Amino acid sequence: MKKLITILFIGFVSLAVNAQNKVAKIEFKSDTIDYGTIEKGSNGVRVFEFTNTGDAPLIISQVTSSCGCTIPKKPEGPILPGKTGQIEVKYDTNRVNPIRKTVTVISNADTPTVALKIKGEVIDSKAENVLEKKDKSIVQQK
């Protein structure tokens, strides 16, 4: 009986050790998306693509942004080893200003927290430039 318990114990320990060797790994095609210069009100949706290069299913538990103007969307289910997935990010392009935001991804990968960046600038081509307004007022005064 002692031998049977010892064999079962060793079996469970070796199974646990082997299970710990399998790990998910997340590898992004790029960790930065550059919107460039875009018009106010244009499409603000962009996608970060990634691959699970590990040998265990990748589970993304949380995706957050540094500001309420950026809404990230995480994959619903696990990403199997060798498969790809996407994190969709929607920036509110009705805000005219430079874009410098961080999207934080938390998962069960060997690197559990990854910071992704979005950058660019939203402009309003319909609004007159402050310098153009000043020049017009100077010409009208003369």
Look up the CATH number of the domain holding residue 65.
2.60.40.10
**pLDDT tops 60 at residue 35:** yes
Q: Confirm whether 64 is domain-assigned.
A: yes
Q: Which residues contact 80 (CB under 8 A, 6 or more apart)?
A: 52, 57, 58
pLDDT confidence of residue 116: 97
The CA-based dihedral angle spanning residues 114, 38, 95, 97, taken in that order and rounded to the nearest 10 degrees:
80
pLDDT confidence of residue 21: 81
pLDDT confidence of residue 7: 60
**pLDDT tops 90 at residue 8:** no
| Residue of 72, 54, 55 whose CA lies nearest to 63 | 72
User: What kind and span of H or E run contains 64?
Assistant: strand 60-65
- Structure pTM? 0.74
Over residues 69-101, the pLDDT tens digits come to: 999 999 999 999 999 999 999 999 999 999 999
Q: Containing domain of residue 41, as a range?
A: 24-125
pLDDT confidence of residue 16: 54
Between 92 and 134, where is the model more confident?
92
**pLDDT tops 90 at residue 58:** yes
Domain count of the chain?
A: 1
